[in-house]
Chains A and B, each alone.
Chain A
Amino acid sequence: MFYREAGDFKTSYQQDNQTFPIRFDRYRYYVVLAVAFGVVPFLINDYWANAILVPFLIYAIAAIGLNILTGYCGQVSLGTGGFMAVGAYACYKLMTAFPELSMFIHVILAGGVTALVGVLFGLPSLRIKGFYLAVATLAAQFFLVWLFNRVPWFYNYSASGQISAPERDVFGILVTGPNAPSWAVYLFCLIFVTFAGVLARNLTRGTMGRRWMAIRDMDIAAEIIGVNPLTAKLSAFAASSFFVGISGALFFSVYLGAVEVGEAFGIQKSFLVLFMVIIGGLGSIFGAFAGAAFLVVLPVALKLVGVDMLGWATDIVAHFQLVIVGALIVVFLILEPHGLAQLWRVAKEKLRLWPFPY
């Protein structure tokens, strides 16, 4: 019924290799893009922007970043929070040093700075693997947080040690600061998400992505068939950190507006993004979106149901949140180790055959 391929002929290699080979899928993708760009900005209000959509979009970029490193290249990283902090502080320094530039430039440059730092901390991955690499990236996490707390240059010598985003605009429309309209903030993040999604998808299905996956599946075999582990691993670190840096920059400048490094970019953030990637599905761009949506929306939804609809005490609901989210993670890992993306894939297979399964 849905996802029917009958009559959907491909007459060139290009058509055969497109991201959404099934016509229904492709149209759905365009509809989603059209709604996200053309309809949501007119409906959005402060609550939906700041509590749900903007954090979802920002975490989706971070999850795409970590997914490239962990899901595609197989390098476990616990340094995501630290790399997000690099993006945030780079963005802050750029914003305050060059106030006349567009926010787009600041955010992309912040991603670039994070990519360099990521490559630096990625060097040990050439020698160490698995758990040991996780520990090395954990060191990056703690070192970076310590650095931004310790060296006053990074926070422009402010008395509180916090960085706060001044008002900056894109083509005359404010996107940071308290007076930025919610539709502008949302669209600004959406543009980056779309850009990140398309870029990541095309990176991962090209030569680069195949090298990463070869390294992930068996590094020695990959080396024998001619994949250079140095460039493959470091390029994965660079690409991953680039996205994570962009998400950190947006997290600080657009979403929160003021951050304290230990609180906003602590080890919890690294775990949160890792959970998003695992729940969403390792090695899947869609999974990054699904995981981010799951972990951003679920606590808010549980709160709405528990406190506003059922009228329970806030602390009981907060404890239930921990229990339910924790239980769901365990259930997912047991029932569907490949995450929400795999569930979606299975559903799609079923829908292709429906209503005549064999």
Chain B
Amino acid sequence: MKKRLTALALGALMAAGPAMADLVFPSLSYRTGPYAANGIPFADGYADYFTLLNERDGGIGGEPVKMIECETGYNTEKGVECYEATKGEGALVYQPLSTGITYQLIPKATADGIPVHSMGYGRTSAKNGSVFRNIFNYPANYWDGASVAITHILNAEGGDLSGKKVALVYHNSAYGKEPIRTLEELAKKHGYELTLLPVDHPGQEQKSQWLQIRREKPDYVIMWGWGVMNQVAIQEAVNIRFPMDHFIGIWWSGSENDVLPAGEKANGYKALTFHNFGSNYPIYADLKKYVYDAGKAAGAGDQSGTVLYNRGLYAAMLAAEAAKTAQDIHGTKAITSQMMRDGMEALEMTEEKMSALGLPAFGPEFKVSCENHGGNGFGAVSQWDAAAGEFKMITDYFQSDQDVLNPLISEDSSAYASENNIEPGCN
């Protein structure tokens, strides 16, 4: 039996020897499993943006982009396999779209010198770039999300939350547990009462959690859900006639797929976001001309303009802009993952840049630095309009409570640094 090992090892030798000609952007996507409904639009947007760059501009700075897609099914073991399979190809940056896989990759990618961009997910304290040199989570992170949600509730309640009850319905995993620390800190500051309601993977069974909500009647429900859990939660909220405008989801719980199954009754559901919606942007004309009409759209090509498709575009755009920055810094077109890291650390997104790319006012402005890998923590609240069938922004971008978050981030990142013998520093 173990003969087979020898054969495998010999095969490995032959398979080794990576070709490093193009700029390689792996896409660890999931188009199958309980999270596919959310994974597909993101993966399509990510792929279509790079296709557009290749077709329209011949890549980034004239260097063609090679996007390697690898199916993870939101499963960490497959994520590791995908990481190992693609890193030899000269991968520049990983965006796994899974907090579990991000936790997995943080030490591995750091050891291999490859940056990870966990945009709005992953480990929040990675914002402290002096500890997490290779990990980025701009433009916003989970603790920003939690704080933005509380600030929104605060504004709706006229600035006073004392005696109010807030329930957190969360995916019982590292992802869902992320905001608890912040919500507890904020509860101390604002005096609301926090109830924690975990939902186990994959999240199809939530009857008892919503029964508890019906019994305890919290004033607001905040949700940290993903995949099929979102749809079920919104349906359950409709079933117990919970007021939808008091139900706020994180940005991962605010896509069309999540609200459509509940129909008209989901009208008024709120979700956070760190980028804009819709297809009313100049870039969509280019996408239509170079990608859709040329028959090069990724997947089934039916996700264009949805919330998560736009987020995929945004993620790819930030990666491409970081690659451009890296090319400028190092004066070479064929950048390596180390140079890509420098590019990400020097990335600055301004209104002019976004307008020039055909995405005017698409996301908040921010500037990355070694001390701040996480942007400025601006988020906005959107609301589902069931009649129009789209999420509408109901607030401007506003900043999270940095006074509460910054101490938490430095505490958590220094704990990580001492656990892993990392000397924090920017050089």
A binding-site residues for B, Cβ under 8 Å: 28, 31-33, 35-36, 39-40, 43-48, 50-53, 55, 149, 159-162, 164, 166-167, 177-179, 255-260, 262-264, 266, 286, 289-290, 293, 297, 300, 303, 307, 313-315, 317-319, 322
Contacts and interface: CB of A to CB of B under 8 A. Distances in A.
Contacts of A313: 31, 299
A67 B79 CA distance: 28
Interface in B67-94: 69-71, 73, 75-77, 80-81, 84-85, 87-88
Interface stretch (B8-16, B301-309, B327-335): B8-16
B1 A260 contact: no
A48 B75 CA distance: 19
Contact of A32 (B1, B81, B85): B1
Interface residues of B, number: 55
A113 to B, nearest CB: 23
A28 B1 CA distance: 9
Interface of B: 1-6, 8-10, 12-13, 15-16, 29, 31-32, 36, 40, 69-71, 73, 75-77, 80-81, 84-85, 87-88, 100, 103-104, 107-108, 110-112, 123, 172-174, 177-178, 180-181, 198, 200-201, 299, 412, 419-421
A314 B71 contact: yes
B81 A35 contact: no
B32 A319 contact: yes
Q: Which among A46, A160, A256, A297 has the highest number of chain B CB atoms within 10 Å?
A: A160
B32 A318 contact: yes
Contacts of A264: 76-77
A260 B76 CA distance: 9
Nearest to B3: A32
A50 B69 contact: no
B8 A258 contact: no
Contacts of A32: 1-3, 5
Nearest to B200: A262
Given A33-B2, A286-B1, A179 B173 contact: no
B71 A162 contact: no
B12 A315 contact: no
A44 B12 CA distance: 7
B6 A315 contact: no
B244 to A, nearest CB: 29
B70 A256 contact: no
A46 B84 contact: yes
A315 B44 CA distance: 12
B77 A55 contact: yes
5 contacts: A40-B9, A48-B12, A50-B80, A161-B177, A314-B29
A141 to B, nearest CB: 13
Given A39-B6, A177-B107, A256-B104, A263 B12 contact: no
A44 B8 CA distance: 9
Given A260-B174, A314-B69, A318-B31, A47 B104 contact: no
B181 A263 contact: no
Contacts of A50: 80-81, 84
Contact of B71 (A39, A289, A315): A315
Contacts of B29: 314
Contacts of B77: 55, 256, 264
Contact of A179 (B84, B111, B174): B111
A50 B79 CA distance: 11
Nearest to B70: A314
Nearest to A39: B6
A262 B420 CA distance: 25
Contact of B172 (A52, A55, A149, A290): A149
A53 B31 CA distance: 26
Contacts of B100: 260, 263
Nearest to A42: B9
Nearest to B412: A159
Contacts of B32: 315, 318-319, 322
**Nearest 10 Cβ contacts at the A-B interface:** A315-B31, A178-B111, A32-B2, A160-B174, A178-B107, A314-B71, A43-B9, A48-B12, A51-B81, A318-B32
A53 B108 contact: no
A55 to B, nearest CB: 7
A36 B104 contact: no
B108 A178 contact: yes
Contacts of A44: 9, 12
A149 to B, nearest CB: 6
